[in-house]
């Protein structure tokens, strides 16, 4: 079978994605690009790739088929549009864009290009979540009506003061309110519910740690899906406490799932009529529901620190190019996972009133 020739843009997060390609049989890592030469040289050695570029434009002139966009978040949309316009397929890191205007630009570029675009939403490939999705698809949850997710990840030491030079994390995550990193949390819930968020409302705690930051220590986004289901998503990059950034919960008519809240907790599920009332079962009693593709992933490939299936994600993208099928997280899905976060900022700035999220499927 043909292999897809990849160039990776951004050699920090991108270096991990480049290494993960070793475990994706339909993908071939051909080139790595970063404007910072020292970062590029180090990452190229760790990923075992000899062809390097310091400019995206030059890499786009080469014979690669696809680009992994792992540049700073505010550049994702522009870099994806440039790659699509150059006839390359695009696998973009989260979030797809950092403004609603860029969401529309990206949609138009993807449609006009005839190339594949996929969001590299690794949280959609978390191993335990893949079991939960298997149970959802097998009908064990019945109709879903509530989901929740937390991104609690103390990062206040990683936000340089805005006067000390440009840093995208400061500009997007410390100086903006609302949930500007929502793809990780909303992505998996969007997969399970299979419908977009139509309205969001966001309230926050205020900022108690960095005097110059505008983001809340903690904010909560309530999402109403198109058919009226409820999602609750919490973001917290500031609080002094242990992290919990892969928490997910799901409630259906027939079952309930909760991820661990801490180290002594476990992934647990209650299935009506099967689990004794008032108790939980370990999710791992249901490992048979893991998709077959997961069973072929060697343990050393699950090295991204998120119990995630990054090689599966890359393989899915490469295969959809070779087989000319729809990417599992296509451009409309990507925008449906991104725009609710952007609109949560609007709601937060208006005192928490519910606001509509644009519909990119029309
Ligand atoms: N999915 C995940 O779990 C996950 C984890 C970490 C980061 N990310 C995402 O990956 C992206 C990159 O994150 P990071 O931590 O590597 O950021 P970073 O700022 O540490 O590194 C970005 C790299 O891109 C390079 N770069 C910037 N502009 C460039 C340009 N025009 N041309 C070529 N190179 C350029 C920089 O030199 C730098 O090496 C972010 O959007 C982040 O949201 C996702």
Ligand 1 site-directed mutation target among 93, 246, 313, most atoms within 8 Å of CB: 93
Nearest residue to 234 via CA among 270, 195, 184: 184
Ligand 1 site-directed mutation target among 8, 10, 54, 102, most atoms within 8 Å of CB: 10
Instruction: Render pLDDT for 298-332 as a digit per residue (tens, 0 to 9).
Output: 777 776 566 678 999 999 999 999 999 999 999 99
Is the alpha carbon torsion for 18, 22, 25, 31 positive or negative? positive
Pocket of ligand 1, beta carbon within 6 A: 9-13, 33-36, 39, 56, 70-73, 75, 93-94, 122, 168
Compute the distance between CA of residue 190 and CA of residue 123 in angstroms, rounded to an integer.
Answer: 11
What is the distance in A from the centroid of ligand 1 to the CA of 49? Answer: 18
Do the Cβ atoms of 246 and 151 come closer than 8 Å?
no
What is the predicted pLDDT for the residue at 298? 77
Do the Cβ atoms of 156 and 238 come closer than 8 Å?
yes
Identify the residue whose C-alpha is closest to ligand 1 atom 6: 13
Query: pTM for the complete prediction?
Result: 0.97
What is the distance in A from the centroid of ligand 1 to the CA of 265? Answer: 32
> Is the peptide bond prior to 95 cis by the omega test (within 30 degrees of 0)?
yes
Atom from ligand 1 closest to the CA of residue 94: 43
Do the Cβ atoms of 118 and 330 come closer than 8 Å?
yes
Compute the distance between CA of residue 132 and CA of residue 138 in angstroms, rounded to an integer.
Answer: 10
What is the predicted pLDDT for the residue at 17? 94
What is the predicted pLDDT for the residue at 263? 86
User: What does the CA dihedral 252, 256, 259, 261 come to, rounded to 10 degrees?
Assistant: 120
Residue with tokens 């062809």: 51
Identify the residue whose C-alpha is closest to ligand 1 atom 21: 12
Compute the distance between CA of residue 31 and CA of residue 15 in angstroms, rounded to an integer.
Answer: 11
Alpha helices in 205-300 (DSSP H): 292-295
- Residue-range domains of the chain with CATH: 4-122 (3.40.50.720), 124-291+337-356 (3.30.360.10)
What is the predicted pLDDT for the residue at 301? 74
Nearest residue to 24 via CA among 312, 303, 292: 312
Which three-class secondary structure string do you get for 94-106? CCCCCCHHHHHHH
Compute the distance between CA of residue 170 and CA of residue 333 in angstroms, rounded to an integer.
Answer: 27
Which stretches of the chain score pLDDT less than 70? 1, 303-307
| CA within 13 Å, CB half, 343 | 22
What is the predicted pLDDT for the residue at 1? 60
What is the distance in A from the centroid of ligand 1 to the CA of 253? Answer: 41
What is the distance in A from the centroid of ligand 1 to the CA of 111? Answer: 25
Q: How much of the chain is helix, strand and coil, in % rounded to 5? A: 40, 20, 40
What is the distance in A from the centroid of ligand 1 to the CA of 190? Answer: 25
Nearest residue to 100 via CA among 333, 360, 351, 331: 360
Compute the distance between CA of residue 313 and CA of residue 91 in angstroms, rounded to an integer.
Answer: 10
What is the predicted pLDDT for the residue at 295? 80
What is the distance in A from the centroid of ligand 1 to the CA of 162? Answer: 18
Q: Is 122 helix (H, G, I), strand (E, B) or coil?
A: helix
Identify the residue whose C-alpha is closest to ligand 1 atom 19: 72
Nearest residue to 197 via CA among 218, 175, 182, 180: 182
């Amino acid at each position: 079978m043909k292999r897809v020739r990849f160039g990776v843009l951004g050699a920090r997060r991108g270096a991990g994605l480049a290494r993960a390609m070793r475990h994706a049989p339909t993908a071939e890592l051909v080139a790595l690009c970063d404007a910072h030469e020292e970062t590029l040289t180090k990452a190229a050695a760790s990923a075992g790739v000899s062809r390097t570029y310091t400019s995206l434009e030059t890499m786009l002139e080469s014979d690669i088929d696809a680009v992994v966009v792992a540049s700073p978040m505010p550049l994702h949309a522009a870099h994806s549009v440039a790659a699509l316009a150059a006839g390359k397929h695009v696998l973009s890191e989260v979030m797809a864009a950092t403004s609603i205007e860029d969401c529309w630009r990206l949609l138009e570029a993807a449609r006009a290009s005839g190339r594949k675009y996929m969001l590299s939403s690794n949280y959609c490939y978390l191993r335990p979540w893949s079991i939960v999705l298997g149970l959802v698809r097998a009908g064990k949850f019945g109709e879903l009506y509530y989901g929740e997710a937390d991104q609690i990840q103390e990062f206040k030491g990683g936000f340089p003061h805005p006067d000390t030079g440009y840093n995208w994390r400061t500009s997007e995550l410390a100086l903006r309110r609302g949930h500007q990193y929502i793809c990780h949390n909303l992505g998996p819930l969007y997969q399970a519910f299979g419908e977009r968020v139509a309205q969001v409302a966001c309230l926050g705690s205020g900022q108690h740690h960095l005097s110059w930051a505008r983001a809340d220590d903690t904010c909560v986004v309530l999402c109403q899906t198109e058919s009226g289901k409820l999602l609750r998503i919490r973001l917290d990059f500031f609080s002094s406490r242990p992290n919990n950034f892969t928490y997910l919960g799901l409630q259906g008519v027939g079952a309930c799932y909760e991820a661990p809240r801490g180290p002594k907790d476990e992934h647990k599920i209650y299935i009506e009529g099967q689990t004794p009332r008032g108790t939980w079962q370990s999710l791992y009693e249901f490992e048979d529901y893991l998709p077959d593709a997961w069973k072929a992933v060697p343990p050393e490939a699950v090295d991204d620190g998120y119990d995630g299936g990054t090689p599966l994600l890359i393989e899915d993208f490469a295969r959809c190019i070779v087989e000319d099928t729809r990417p599992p997280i296509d451009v409309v899905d990507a925008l449906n996972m991104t725009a609710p976060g952007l609109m949560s900022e609007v709601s937060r700035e208006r005192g928490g009133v519910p606001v509509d999220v644009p519909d990119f499927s029309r």
